Amino acid sequence: MLNNKTVLITGGTGSFGKQFIKTILNRFPDVKKIIIYSRDELKQFEIKQNYPAKDFPQLRFFIGDVRDRQRMIQACEGVDVIIHAAAIKQVDTAEYNPTECIRTNVDGAENVIAAALACGVKDVVALSTDKACAPINLYGATKLASDKLFAAANNIKGSKDIRFSVVRYGNVMGSRGSVIPFFIERKKEGLLPITHEEMTRFNISLQDGVNMVMYAIENHLGGEIFVPKIPSYRITDIAKAIAPTCELKVVGIRPGEKLHEEMITDTDSLNTIDLGHYYAILPSVSFTYTEAEYLKHHKAEKVPFGFKYNSGTNTEWETVESLRDLIVTHVDSTFEV
């Protein structure tokens, strides 16, 4: 799928980017080029230490910002596939710096689309978030706007052979700023702050997120939002899994935070297809295919009327024991209770 192709990853020095690079090199040894595009020279330097140029000549490192359209166009010259992972992601950071969040997450999305159209890219997959579904914070609102831009880009491609799609998933285990490494660090103090006893979240491993993007590259028709079927966890179960003897202190839900996350609303379900391991929310306006054609192509079926996908009403749940196993596997191999 990616052999003899050139792949560009925006925000390529983040948690996803590093796992994606590792996966491509393992699965597609004949990949032509992997371009890591980001604005953090220190993180690029750190990745270079793990992938020396003499052993990995296919890696390229571009300093650049998705806000800079001209630089994006330069970076996309000769690129076949773009994975757009760059974003301002911290909810509280976005609330305090709204203009900066919009410039990166919305204007940046427009620039990626423009560069892809200008440079003859074939496949574009943008990473989204559960917070883009019925958003109540600015981060979620900007990612919803980004999702809409990528879906609508398929309607302005003209005769160009290019497909734009989105993948949307929940909290990634062990990613920077997430709750698991935070709790592991805080357990030594004997007290864990939790926002609310009833809070739930979707859970996905970094590798499963990468696998989902690979699926999208290979199977997308353009315009759809792919959503994985994944389990939920209770915040209290995470606390018990990491530090069962610690006292829990309820500190309250932070501004812009939901009690339960959503990935598909009941209104979204009117355009949602069940693909087996994933769902696909089809665009409300598409000139590429009809719903019937999409169903036939994937040998899929529509979800039931009124279906919705919410971390609090999910049918699949992680337990305290399964969470401990996942932490050892995906976050910290030395972890012990």
Catalytically active residues are 131
CA dihedral 181, 184, 185, 189 (to 10 degrees): 150
φ/ψ region of 279 (left if φ > 0, alpha if ψ in -120 to 50, else beta) reads beta
H-helix or E-strand containing 171? Answer: strand 171-172
For 53, 113, 201, 315, 336, the CA distances from 172, given in Å and listed in that order, are 30, 25, 10, 19, 20
Estimate to the nearest angstrom the gap between the alpha carbon of 50 and the chain centroid: 24
Whole-number Å distance between alpha carbons of 88 and 143: 10
Neighbours of 238 (CB within 10 A): 23
Short-list 29, 37, 85, CA closest to 58: 29
Contact 104/66 with Cβ under 8 angstroms?
yes
